[in-house]
A and B are shown apart, each in its own frame.
Chain A
Amino acid sequence: MALFELTNIDKAVKNGNREEKILNDVDLTLNEGELTALTGPSGSGKSTLLTIAACLQNKTNGSISFKGKKISEKNDGSIRKLRAEKFGFVFQHAHLVPFLTVGEQLALMLDTANVKLSKEDKNNKINKILQAVDMYKHKNSYPENLSGGERQRAAIARAIIHDPELLFADEPTASIDSKRSEEVMALIKRLSQDLGITVLMVTHDMDMLEYADRRIEMKDGQITKG
């Protein structure tokens, strides 16, 4: 069943006097519970498509629907709420808040997503997720004291703590070594399956594609396969 649909998406940017098309009439449907991988050479427009889908930048044309409702016409406040409550994000770098411990990062996400739980239940949920990503022992650590892989696992925990329906992952393994990459991808795959989270992931690492349920290839701003 289609959870998320991008229809006729165009993205053009001004480059001096001429207009450059980064995305050209892209259609993409994400099915519930599926892990979809977007691949393609650098400059093919895959990260742009992901950030437009995640409402982190504007499209030039086209529409975006989530659970059958058009979200592309919503105001900034509604989109922020949607991002906070229904979406999760994992980026190339962990982008953790430097002055919060791992546990506090997760608590912040629960508050941001307006998750109504008692203090004790929140704490239990944080502990459970940290155990799931094997980061429980680092609950009180600051990002500066974590390795790259640990930070990325903490970022994944932050991305899913509020039970999002859709997880956007932009090259989640690009900043870590291959061993850690395998671990992170296995983790994303497992969480996607266990929690039923739909995942849209951008990657240029062919080894990571084995974790995807579906593979979509892009070239020159268009989907060429998938």
Chain B
Amino acid sequence: MKMAWKEMKKFKLRYLILGFIVFLISILTMSISGLANGLSDDNASLIKHMPDGTFYMSEDAEDNYSFSAIENEQEEALAATDENYTLFSIQMGEINNADDKKFSTAFVTSDGGDYFPNVDDGEIILDRSLEDEGFSVGDKVTNGLIEDDLTISGFVDGQKFSHTEAGFINEADFQEMYRTDAFQVGFTEGEADVEGLTNYSNSDFLNTIPSYSAEQMSLNMIIVFLYVISALLFAIFFYMINVQKMSTFGILKAIGVKQSSLFVMMWAQMLFITVISLIPAIAISLIINAVAPEGMPFFLPTETIIFAVVAFIVIGFVGATISGLQIRKAEPLQAINQGGM
């Protein structure tokens, strides 16, 4: 450990360069992770905020909730398995304000379970972001599919679907608007096998949302590439440093220094550089998280930061160790014959 620190102190520049590159890559990784999380929330917070459980859609819907319709017998089968089951439906539409300005809305109705707001007939509860568009409790909104106006009875936080603000309405109003008395999706916190229904985990159900998986896959691919680049960076950098130190390693081995001590030295340097580089990267990412403008979906939860820190340390460890296999090849005799300081 002492040797690791002394080497870094003596050759500050080369380790500063590595640290700076790790800092840049980690800040880029965390920014894109924040963006991926933000977009994910913007796309599906309605579903993401539900507890872990099982979603059900009719088999013939082919993973498209719009085509799903849960029949009465299937509902009874779900009820028999889990009395806290919920049925809900989502339809994309729009609401008009008093000035007849249109706002896209994902209309959501449920059978009165605990997972969605309960709304009375003729009322609507909107996602809070619409408050910024000038909507207030008591305002009336209209929709061409329903005869009566809907009165805003409240706002809820973080309820979006397919990048659109959710509008929770009563089952009867939903039936009048979309001419259907069947719910599209079922949900239980456990898992039931019901004939004619396909089961989805939370993440599987999220991936049925159009654009969700394509959007997340693209961003996740960038994140994976950034992690791979980090691993290569560590491996190449330590390889280059180790090549320069082969003679020193050989001499250290000749005088009796353990090979494991040389590996510990390299790991200590890797850990130090990674941690020191991650601290400002995390700080800057958290600042972005706090000051990101309304229109920029950015969300960096603690779990994502912890994952990134652990991933960078593991990647650094693997990269450095692979390049460090050269240490095993360092021959005392070769080093002695090479000459040097």
Give me the interface of A with B, judged by CB distance under 8 Å: 51, 56-57, 80-81, 83-85, 87, 89, 91-100, 104, 108-109, 112-113, 142-144, 151, 158, 170, 175
Contacts and interface: CB of A to CB of B under 8 A. Distances in A.
B11 A91 contact: no
Nearest to A95: B251
A95 B7 contact: no
Nearest to B256: A84
Closest CB pairs A-B (n = 3): A84-B256, A99-B10, A99-B7
B269 to A, nearest CB: 11
Interface in B313-341: 332-333, 335-336, 339-341
B271 interface: no
Contacts of A93: 339-341
A201 to B, nearest CB: 15
Given A93-B341, A98-B10, A99-B11, A83 B255 contact: yes
A143 B252 CA distance: 15
B299 to A, nearest CB: 44
Interface string B246-263: 011001111111100000
30 contacts: A56-B254, A56-B333, A56-B336, A80-B253, A80-B256, A81-B256, A83-B255, A84-B256, A84-B257, A85-B256, A87-B256, A89-B254, A91-B336, A92-B339, A93-B339, A93-B340, A93-B341, A95-B335, A98-B341, A99-B3, A99-B6, A99-B9, A100-B6, A108-B3, A108-B257, A109-B255, A112-B255, A112-B257, A144-B341, A170-B336
B255 A94 contact: no
Contacts of B254: 56, 83, 89, 95
Given A57-B333, A99-B11, A100-B3, A151 B257 contact: no
Contacts of B258: 80
B333 to A, nearest CB: 5
A83 B256 contact: yes
B336 A95 contact: yes
Contact of B255 (A57, A100, A158): A158
A95 B256 contact: no
Given A99-B6, A151-B341, A113 B256 contact: yes
B9 to A, nearest CB: 8
Contact of B341 (A89, A109, A113, A143): A143
A108 B248 CA distance: 13
Contacts of A98: 10, 248, 341
Nearest to B10: A99
Nearest to A51: B333
A109 B11 CA distance: 21
Given A56-B333, A83-B256, 7 more contacts: A84-B255, A84-B257, A93-B341, A94-B340, A95-B335, A98-B248, A99-B9
A142 B11 CA distance: 12
B340 A112 contact: no
Interface string B1-31: 0010011011100000000000000000000
